[in-house]
Amino acid sequence: MMKASRLFVAGAAAALLPLTAVLAQTPPAPGPAEPPAQRQGTTFESLDTNSDDRISRSEAEASSDVKAQFSSYDVNGDGFIERAEVNAANRSQ
């Protein structure tokens, strides 16, 4: 009886191995809309290279998504993206 159980478990594991390979290769399902910077793993801190708590146009060049949407993030039009502007954009989404 014990040998049959072990064979059953081994057979079931062997049958499921191809399924695990498929699951490992399946891209994750898209989640709720996230700001482009978060979707690609870019953080405010990683773009703020001089640590002045704001992102300049030249700092935004490091992320094509942030660069493309710079004007929409820079709500007050001062040429910088402040953390408050990013937080407001994230809340509106």
pLDDT > 90 fraction of the chain, expressed in percent and rounded: 38
Evaluate whether residue 17 is within a structural domain. Answer: no
- What is the C-alpha separation between 64 and 80, in angstroms, rounded? 16
- Give the mean pLDDT of 37-58: 83
Evaluate whether residue 45 is within a structural domain. Answer: yes
Of 76, 69, 37, 70, the closest CA to residue 56 belongs to 70
Evaluate whether residue 8 is within a structural domain. Answer: no
Q: Residue 56 maps to which CATH number?
A: 1.10.238
Q: What is the pLDDT of residue 5?
A: 63
Question: What is the span of the domain harbouring residue 46?
Answer: 36-92
Locus of tokens 């953080």: 43
Measured from the Cβ of residue 85, the count of other Cβ atoms closer than 10 Å reads 18
Per the structure, the count of domains in the chain is 1
Which 3 state secondary structure label does DSSP give 55?
Answer: strand
User: Does the structure show a pLDDT above 70 at 3?
Assistant: no
